[in-house]
Amino acid sequence: MPWDRNQMAARAAQELEDGMYVNLGIGIPTLVANYVGDKDITLQSENGMLGMGPFPFEGEEDADLINAGKQTITELSRTSYFDSATSFAMIRGGKIAAAVLGAMEVDEEGDLANWMIPGVLVKGMGGAMDLVAGVGRVIVVMDHTNKHGKSKLLKKCTLPLTGKKVVNRIITNLGVLDVVDGGLKIIEIAEGVTEDEIRASTEANIVN
């Protein structure tokens, strides 16, 4: 059985180490926060906050306290606030240990596309290009194939890039792969999935 959304998020949470400052993207990456357990992880929200807390209780929403997805959130005892220039200074400056984010395509060189589909309404890259260029480690969490069954792990990205040679690790519903010299290396296979299934669903070169 391939992993579901929550299992993928739980697997991504294993990547995070005690003491890390981490930025989580929108979608499945947001769920990662539910699986960090006892690890001391500080979440960054690029609109200007370290130490992001959970959603507020009903009636306790604060218009001045949102995350990068514009959702109302809460603060923690460790929280600090800062302006957008300072926020991206810590991102670009390599102070954020890791970013977990979704993707449309990743290729065997570690190129990432997740912001634009030509001909479809363009919304903008937000902070994604800064994050992938700046953080210590980029972990992509996404389905292995798109809704047409086509591989999202390609030899070469076809969509406009978010960053070039930026991805370190890819966690999909089928398993975990690293970007290494010459292609992608299978690190882990989801329980009940075979290596042949991963290979059949991967267009990118797989190295042993």
Of 54-62, 99-107, 143-151, 173-181: span binding other proteins (CB under 8 A) = 54-62
Other C-beta atoms closer than 10 Å to the C-beta of 192 total: 9
Six-digit token pair at 194? 């075979």
CB atoms within 10 A of CB 144: 23
The string of DSSP codes covering 150-183 is -BSEESS--SPPSBSS---EEE-SSEEEEEETTE
Q: Are strands 49-52 and 75-81 parallel, antiparallel or unpaired?
A: antiparallel
Q: Which residue out of 15, 46, 108, 109 is catalytically annotated?
A: 46
Question: Cβ of residue 16: shortest distance to other proteins, in angstroms?
Answer: 22
Token pair of 90 as six digits: 């810590």
46 is catalytic: yes
* Interface region with other proteins, contact rule CB under 8 A, candidates 1-9, 13-21, 59-67, 179-187: 59-67
Site mask, other proteins, residues 69-108, x = CB under 8 A? xxxxx-x-----xxxxx-xxx-xx----------------
Task: State the residues that interact with other proteins by CB under 8 A.
Answer: 45-49, 54-67, 69-73, 75, 81-85, 87-89, 91-92, 111, 121-130, 133-134, 160-165
Q: Which residues are catalytic?
A: 46
